[in-house]
Amino acid sequence: MSFKRLGGLIAQKKNPTVAGLDPRLDHLPPDLRGQVGRDGSLESAAGAILAFNKGLIDALADVVPAVKPQLACYEAFGLPGLAALRETMVYAASKGLYVIADAKRGDIGSTAKAYADAFLGETIVGGSAHRPFPADCMTVNPYLGSEGVLPFVERCRKYSRAVFVLAKTSNASAGELQDRDVEGAPLYRRVAELAAAWGPEYVGLVVGATYPEQLEELRRALPQTFFLIPGYGAQGGGADDVAPGFGPGGARAIVNSSRAISCAWQKSGLPWQEAARAEALRMRDELRQTLKL
**Does the CA dihedral 249-253-259-261 come out positive or negative?**
positive
CB 226 within 8 A of CB 3: yes
The CA-based angle 143-149-150, given to 5 degrees, is 145
Longest CA–CA separation in the chain, Å: 59
d(CA 118, CA 281) in angstroms, rounded, equals 33
Which residues partner with 138 through β-bridges? Answer: 101, 163
Active-site residue among 13, 54, 104, 113?
104
Q: Which of 109, 102, 118 is nearest to 68 (CA)?
A: 102
Amino acid 117 reads D
* Of 79, 57, 12, 128, residue with least CA distance to 280: 57
Which of 207, 243, 246 lies closest to 224 in space, CA to CA? 246
What is the bridge-based pairing of β-strands 123-125 and 98-105? unpaired
Element of type H or E holding 67? strand 66-69
Pairing type for strands 181-182 and 185-186 reads: antiparallel
68 counts as catalytic: no
Residue whose C-alpha is closest to residue 143's, from 111, 117, 104: 104
Nearest-angstrom CA–CA distance, 111 and 95? 32
Q: Which residues are tagged catalytic?
A: 104
